[in-house]
Amino acid sequence: MRSTKLGDHLVSFEQELSDKLGISGVTYRHQLTKDQLFQAAIANDRGRTRAGGPDDDRKAFATKLGIEGPLVYYTDPSCTGRPVNDTFAVAWPEINDRVWWKDSLQAYDPDAYEGLFRRVIEHVNARRPTLYVQEVYAGTDPSYSVPYRFVGEYATHAMFAHNMFPKQVAGVTDEAEKRWTMLNVPSFRCEPERDGSLSDRAVIIDFRNRVCLVVGRADYCGVTKKTIFTVMNYLLPEQGLLPMHCAANSGASDDSAILFGLSGTGKTTLSADPNRKLIGDDETGWTDTGISNFEDGCYAKLIDLDKEAEPVIAAALSMKGTIIENVPPLPGKALEDTDPQELDLTDRTITENTRFSYPLSCNPNVADGARGDHPQTIVLLTADAFGVLPPVSILEGRDVMYHFVQGFTAKLAGTEVGVTEPKATFSACFGGPFMSHRPSVYAKLLHQQMEKHRARCVLLNTGWSGGPAGCVPRISIRNTRAMLDASLRGDLHSSGIECVEHPVFHLKVPKHCPDVDATILDARAAWTDKADYDAKAEELRNMFRENFAKNDFERFGVEPVL
């Protein structure tokens, strides 16, 4: 039994949960092993898995490999991704002016929250469920690591927490005072008129009391991870530290690098380099001692997985203790008779956002302690489906802040219903929904860290050149790798490099790059119809300007470079 020292007294986790939340009379399953969680999930996790279906469907299954293989889990059909429009923070007076309120993090009335919280606890105490409790940490660096206690009705979620977060972080002080608690109660249904929610579910961050409350049909596993990362994105800047939604790795000479990028830009693929050690693929902190992973696991998209290109994920599909989320069973075949490698990873009948959770240790080449030295190279990844951005550009000073707060990429035609031509996507700091402070806070911290540690920065277009997507091939992975490798070596920042300024985007574009044909570096020259290029480039530039003005970035100290 885990106890916490408060003053001269040892307090059990049951007493802490009673004192902090008011829970009493329930059965706790505390710190179960992954084998025990696997078995408990199959035996006990029940809820809706089909539209219009009952609330007592079985949600977790074994495969042919049994306990030696993965757990297969199905969410409520209304929650196959983060419930962005049902995500809130309590608008306590002391944090109200500091939080970046937006559609993906809305203000929750404090009085309504207190009433809702009281009713949730009354529901739990009356229902007397079994609650699974896992003690983990958010962050591998003790200077900012937060003790994180998951308390919830589903064993699958507790197993996910076990997969995704460090279990021991030596050197964390004052754990009881720093601990955050997630209370995850899918069986409770909100009533909007009574509770102040927008639907029958809610994900609410309470910064005053260090609580994450998850209620209703919000059982997507990513809620357990992204909610505490939204918390970390608030806490670290308050300490002068920089949280980042990015991948990170380190070379043989401890030359660390950070790769920012939205989904589809190649962040995970490019960070998984056999010649470099992986620090993390999603959330990273930058402190006075270097960079470090927030996590101890990976949560990868599975849709259309190329097993040859992503051998680590492919191998982990069959590993013990991992979790496969929302991949449909094979027609006419029970999951218990299915080898994980037989699953159809192109099947979108449940969701495009099929997922897979596995420990970081499944990767064969992880940096010690998932940490690294101060990064020498910052890479902003964008997949430009318009085909007008240069394949690689050098960013300095104000250009870094501008492109960082914009967080641009472009979706391809056909990837979403109704999208018939490239569609610009802007997500501030390459992770807007999870940023609790205004984007300028993170941009200024990034700029300060880069200046202090003399980090270089490039904008790397992993999309198209010579025309829009659908008309020309995507920039080859060979060329993208060569440009990335040159950036990591510092070749593009050497004193002899010759550059030109892009006439529309005002980017500093190198005329030559080792192992890359110079003809592809000039984005305009790669187009047959130069007038068409000019029109498309100006169209995209105007989108940048509109997004910049809409978010009022200039008011918060970011210069409009376009």
Quick check: helix, strand or coil at residue 123? Answer: helix
> How far apart (Å, rounded) are the C-alpha atoms in residues 2 and 375?
37
The domains spanning 3-59+76-238 and 376-381+391-462+476-493+507-527 adopt the same CATH topology: no
* Total-model pTM: 0.93
Pick the CATH number of 300-362 from 3.40.800.20, 2.40.50.140, 3.40.630.10, 2.170.8.10: 2.170.8.10
> How far apart (Å, rounded) are the C-alpha atoms in residues 511 and 513?
7
User: Quick one: pLDDT at residue 4?
Assistant: 59
> How far apart (Å, rounded) are the C-alpha atoms in residues 168 and 217?
31
Q: Is 282 one of the catalytic residues?
A: yes
User: Quick one: pLDDT at residue 5?
Assistant: 52
- Written as one letter, the residue type at 194 is R
> How far apart (Å, rounded) are the C-alpha atoms in residues 192 and 515?
59
Q: Which of 195, 282, 296, 399 is catalytic?
A: 282
User: Quick one: pLDDT at residue 423?
Assistant: 86
Question: Do 59 and 47 touch, CB atoms closer than 8 A?
Answer: yes
How would you class 334 by CB atoms within 10 Å of its CB: exposed for 0-12, middle for 13-18, buried for 19 or more?
Answer: exposed
Q: Is 267 one of the catalytic residues?
A: yes
Q: Is 123 one of the catalytic residues?
A: no
Q: Which of 162, 179, 210, 245 is catalytic?
A: 245
Task: Give the closest residue to 184 by CA, choosing from 142, 150, 152.
Answer: 152
DSSP letter (8 states) at residue 513: B
Q: Which of 48, 149, 201, 226 is catalytic?
A: 226
Q: How far is CA 338 from CA 61, 307, 330, 343, 423, in A?
A: 11, 18, 8, 7, 39
User: Which tens digit of pLDDT belongs to each residue from 320-361?
Assistant: 999 999 999 999 999 999 999 999 999 999 999 999 999 998
Q: Which of 82, 149, 210, 438 is catalytic?
A: 82
Pick the CATH number of 376-381+391-462+476-493+507-527 from 3.90.228.20, 3.40.190.10, 3.90.110.10, 3.40.50.300: 3.90.228.20
Q: Domain 3-59+76-238: what homologous superfamily?
A: Phosphoenolpyruvate Carboxykinase, domain 1 (3.40.449.10)
Q: Is 48 one of the catalytic residues?
A: no
User: Which tens digit of pLDDT belongs to each residue from 115-147?
Assistant: 999 999 999 999 999 999 999 999 999 999 999
Q: Which of 157, 276, 355, 374 is catalytic?
A: 355
User: Quick one: pLDDT at residue 412?
Assistant: 63
Residue 496: pLDDT band with limits 50, 70, 90: confident
Q: Is 440 one of the catalytic residues?
A: no
Question: Do 530 and 396 touch, CB atoms closer than 8 A?
Answer: no
> How far apart (Å, rounded) are the C-alpha atoms in residues 224 and 227?
6
Task: Give the closest residue to 549 by CA, choosing from 336, 371, 364, 402.
Answer: 402
Question: So where are the chain's domains?
Answer: 3-59+76-238, 300-362, 376-381+391-462+476-493+507-527
Residue 3: pLDDT band with limits 50, 70, 90: low
Residue 10: pLDDT band with limits 50, 70, 90: low
Report, in angstroms and rounded to the nearest whole number, the Rg of the chain calculated over CA atoms: 24
Q: Is 511 one of the catalytic residues?
A: no
Question: Do 544 and 530 touch, CB atoms closer than 8 A?
Answer: no
